[in-house]
A and B are shown apart, each in its own frame.
Chain A
Amino acid sequence: MTGRARLGWYCVLVAGPLFVVFGELGFWLNGITPRETFPLDLGVSSLSIASGLVLWRLRPDNRTGALLALSGVLWTIGGIRAYRDPWAFGVGQCFDGSQDLVLAHLLIAYPTGRLGRRSLRVLVTAGYGLFVLGVVKTATMDMPRQFNAFAVWHAPRVHSALGTIGSVGAGVYATTGIAIVGSRWLRAGTTRRRVLGPVLLAALLFAFADAVDQIVLAITGSEPDVVFFPPLVARLVIPLAFLFGLARARLDRVAVGDLVRELDASGAETMQSALARALHDPGLRVGYRLGDRDAFIDSDGRPLALPVDGSDHAVTYVSRNDVQLAAIVHERALLEQPALVEAVSAAVGLALDNERLHAQLRNQLQELRASRTRLVRTADSERRRLERDLHDGAQQRLLALGLALNMLRARVRDDDAVQLLAEAQEELATAVRELRELARGIHPAILSDQGLAAAARTLATRCAVPVEVTANGRRFPPAVETAGYYVIAEALANVIRYSGASRAWIEIGEANGLALIAVGDDGVGGADAGVGTGLAGLADRVGALDGRLVVTSAPGSGTTVRAEIPCA
């Protein structure tokens, strides 16, 4: 603050209270209103001016503070009409009620202090027209000029008509102002509501108290002493509400220290929720910059889309040592509190950097998992293609050769030649059988054609012990069926090799979006999933599909191999 500005503030601090006391003292000295209301009158002036000045100091870019202080000044000027002086009365009478015009302006311009739209500017200009009406009304008062220096035209009817027009106009104007703030509150997000809420509440309170005042006045023809109090008390709340609404961000900045302590205590995984609490924006999201790429990921490592221009949300980028760390996606209204956002961003810089590294790690893990899944799927697809190629190529040619040999054998009469042909046919049959086994090992055709349940039944028929199959025939995605098939094949192979079981069972089902594949036996148990059973490789295959393989094998209680694979 410059020396001149500081001097100005000192003058305000000294002259302000004197001015206020002088303005309100007339009512008290001359007993125009109940003497008990004097502290309230004084409070309205001083609180409005003081709150306005504080706001002006805190938010010099926002006109709300200046307008609020002006309303207090006008209230005080209106008060001097209580002095027994024609000029004081005239001036005070002209300004009586003008503070409400400024308050309505404040409401309409709240919280930025700027009207923005042309329609609002027209509305507020029309509102100030009511002040001119008040001046004319003062001039038409039916009283001698020794009491009212402005009484230049004694016209009681005009005065009365202007009074009615002024009252109705002021009522409509104030109601419109409240409706505009109410509508803003309804459309606003959490952040903006925190600013609008106190003011809207105070305005409604005042409107209610004033309405009661007017009704009593209309019924009784005069205001009983007790009715003075509620509107005055409500007036006291208004400047405090403006101060509270706009100064909340300042209080929030004080709470930034708590945020840092909270993060230190609980770890970086609460970063997003801690920021959401500190900035009072429950929908806040934090995106961490992904290396040098122009992309952001959330704390789980998933891509995070930033809001586009014109949406209800905005982005604040957080940097540390000239390195952009993160993007905080928040309600656009928070842009009106840049100091708060900056304070929070600066406070959490280090924690954000840590969390960014964690998020990058999680992202790499996700990419690794996705890569492993792609590898498994590609390998399965290649196996299917290879099996199909064997079937359509070499196998068909060998079969055709077999048919040709068969027909040739029917035509040959030489016994040696018949013998040779029989041997050739035998060799060919062996080659075809071996090729068939090879193709089956590469990829079982029945799995693609008829699904896991049918393939499981085929495996069961080949098993050396009785195997009961329970399955409903539901088809699963190819990768799931392939993994399930190999789990069953390996588990049944283990039943034969190690279990000493007399029977086994296969269950295939689905629950909660998971394919459930289980193979059990009544053998000796005690199997170790990690050693030599081939199940470790299967666990990797199942894991690549985000599934899990569980082996239960207590000694003497048989073995159960259970795979759970997402299939939704």
Chain B
Amino acid sequence: MRTTVLIVDDHPSFRRLARRLFEEAGFTVVGEARDGQSALDSARALRPDLVLLDVMLPDISGIELAERLPPEVSVLLVSSRSAEDLAIGSRRFLRKDELTLDRLRAVAGGTG
């Protein structure tokens, strides 16, 4: 069974390309959200296996939103900034320019 993904980012171009990247990596993208509140609503309704979550959303920090998502949902935080710039800690994180098919396939393996 393919891993389902919810993509949360406020930049449409990134969402569009991320969707294609995930689909090419073998994921099923079940939805997209542009801010924290709609992400929370979508996650509760769609119950994805993985949420690709931008750290800097217009209404809420991705780190804070991750704490409020259903516990069974895996979260992969992404940002154009580095982990040390964001004090990500031990959470799963990738810089956006590090998102590659190989890495996503590895993530898919870890998520399923």
CB of B81, distance to nearest CB on chain A (Å): 6
CB of A383, distance to nearest CB on chain B (Å): 15
Answer yes or no: A440 CB below 8 A from chain B CBs.
yes
How many residues of A are counted as interface, with CB atoms below 8 angstroms from the partner's CB atoms?
Answer: 30
CB of B86, distance to nearest CB on chain A (Å): 6
CB of A220, distance to nearest CB on chain B (Å): 94
Instruction: Identify which of A391, A407, A440, A454 contacts B20 (C-beta below 8 A).
Output: A407
Q: Which residues of A contact B14 (CB under 8 A)?
A: 396, 399-400, 403
If A403-B17, A406-B100, A432-B97 touch, whether A449 touches B80 (CB-CB below 8 Å) is no
Q: Which residues of B contact A445 (CB under 8 A)?
A: 56, 81, 85-86
Stretch at the interface among A243-251, A350-358, A455-463: A455-463
A400 to B13 Cα, complex, angstroms = 7
A535 to B14 Cα, complex, angstroms = 41
Q: Which residues of B contact A402 (CB under 8 A)?
A: 96-97
Answer yes or no: B107 CB below 8 A from chain A CBs.
no
- Within 49-77 of B, Cβ neighbours of A (below 8 Å) are at 56, 61
SS class, residues of chain B in contact with chain A? helix
Answer yes or no: B30 CB below 8 A from chain A CBs.
no
- Within 436-494 of A, Cβ neighbours of B (below 8 Å) are at 436, 439-440, 444-446, 449-450, 454, 457-458, 461-462
Instruction: Identify which of A391, A397, A406 contacts B56 (C-beta below 8 A).
Output: A391
Question: Contact at B81–A391, with CB atoms within 8 Å?
Answer: yes
A391 to B20 Cα, complex, angstroms = 22
Question: Contact at B80–A436, with CB atoms within 8 Å?
Answer: yes
Answer yes or no: B21 CB below 8 A from chain A CBs.
yes
Chain B: which residue is nearest A393 at the CB level? B11
- Within 85-112 of B, Cβ neighbours of A (below 8 Å) are at 85-87, 96-97, 99-101
A428 to B100 Cα, complex, angstroms = 14
Residue-wise interface mask of A (415-441) relative to B, using a CB-CB cutoff of 8 A (1 in contact, 0 not): 000000000000011001000100110
A407 to B32 Cα, complex, angstroms = 20
Question: Contact at B87–A454, with CB atoms within 8 Å?
Answer: yes
Chain A: which residue is nearest B100 at the CB level? A406
A449 to B81 Cα, complex, angstroms = 12
Question: Contact at A406–B86, with CB atoms within 8 Å?
Answer: no
Question: Contact at B17–A407, with CB atoms within 8 Å?
Answer: yes
A397 to B24 Cα, complex, angstroms = 21
Answer yes or no: A404 CB below 8 A from chain B CBs.
yes
Q: Which residues of A contact B101 (CB under 8 A)?
A: 406-407, 410
Answer yes or no: A414 CB below 8 A from chain B CBs.
no
A449 to B79 Cα, complex, angstroms = 13
- Within 293-319 of A, Cβ neighbours of B (below 8 Å) are at none
Q: Which residues of A contact B100 (CB under 8 A)?
A: 406
Residue-wise interface mask of A (380-420) relative to B, using a CB-CB cutoff of 8 A (1 in contact, 0 not): 00000000000110011111101110110010000000000
CB of A469, distance to nearest CB on chain B (Å): 12
Q: Which residues of A contact B13 (CB under 8 A)?
A: 396-397, 400
A403 to B97 Cα, complex, angstroms = 7
CB of B12, distance to nearest CB on chain A (Å): 10
CB of A426, distance to nearest CB on chain B (Å): 11
If A395-B80, A396-B80, A399-B97 touch, whether A444 touches B85 (CB-CB below 8 Å) is yes
Question: Contact at B97–A462, with CB atoms within 8 Å?
Answer: no
Q: Which residues of A contact B82 (CB under 8 A)?
A: 436
Question: Contact at B17–A400, with CB atoms within 8 Å?
Answer: yes
Question: Contact at B17–A410, with CB atoms within 8 Å?
Answer: no
A398 to B18 Cα, complex, angstroms = 14
Question: Contact at B87–A446, with CB atoms within 8 Å?
Answer: yes
Q: Which residues of B contact A428 (CB under 8 A)?
A: 97
Question: Contact at B86–A403, with CB atoms within 8 Å?
Answer: no
Question: Contact at B80–A399, with CB atoms within 8 Å?
Answer: yes
A444 to B82 Cα, complex, angstroms = 11
CB of A474, distance to nearest CB on chain B (Å): 16
Q: Which residues of A contact B56 (CB under 8 A)?
A: 391, 445, 449
Question: Contact at B11–A461, with CB atoms within 8 Å?
Answer: no
CB of B50, distance to nearest CB on chain A (Å): 17
If A399-B96, A449-B61 touch, whether A404 touches B85 (CB-CB below 8 Å) is no
A440 to B87 Cα, complex, angstroms = 14
Q: Which residues of B contact A406 (CB under 8 A)?
A: 21, 99-101
CB of B35, distance to nearest CB on chain A (Å): 14
A436 to B96 Cα, complex, angstroms = 12
CB of B33, distance to nearest CB on chain A (Å): 17
Instruction: Identify which of A397, A400, A450 contacts B87 (C-beta below 8 A).
Output: A450
CB of A316, distance to nearest CB on chain B (Å): 59
Question: Contact at A461–B17, with CB atoms within 8 Å?
Answer: no
Q: Which residues of A contact B80 (CB under 8 A)?
A: 391, 395-396, 399, 432, 436
Question: Contact at B24–A429, with CB atoms within 8 Å?
Answer: no
If A406-B100, A410-B101 touch, whether A392 touches B85 (CB-CB below 8 Å) is no
A461 to B20 Cα, complex, angstroms = 36
Q: Which residues of A contact B81 (CB under 8 A)?
A: 391, 436, 439-440, 445
CB of A412, distance to nearest CB on chain B (Å): 13
CB of B15, distance to nearest CB on chain A (Å): 10
Chain A: which residue is nearest B103 at the CB level? A406
If A392-B11, A407-B21, A436-B81 touch, whether A446 touches B97 (CB-CB below 8 Å) is no
CB of A389, distance to nearest CB on chain B (Å): 13
Q: Provide a sorted-by-A list of 14 A–B residue pairs whose CB atoms are within 8 angstroms.
A: A396-B11, A396-B80, A397-B13, A399-B96, A402-B97, A403-B96, A406-B21, A407-B21, A432-B97, A436-B81, A445-B81, A446-B86, A458-B87, A461-B84
14 more A-B residue pairs beyond the given contacts A396-B11, A406-B101, A458-B85, with a C-beta to C-beta distance below 8 A: A391-B56, A396-B13, A396-B14, A399-B14, A400-B11, A400-B14, A402-B96, A403-B14, A406-B100, A407-B24, A436-B85, A445-B85, A449-B61, A462-B84
Q: Which 5 A-B pairs have the closest CB atoms?
A: A403-B17, A399-B96, A400-B13, A454-B87, A395-B80
Taking Cβ atoms with an 8 Å cutoff, the residues of A that contact B are 391-392, 395-400, 402-404, 406-407, 410, 428-429, 432, 436, 439-440, 444-446, 449-450, 454, 457-458, 461-462
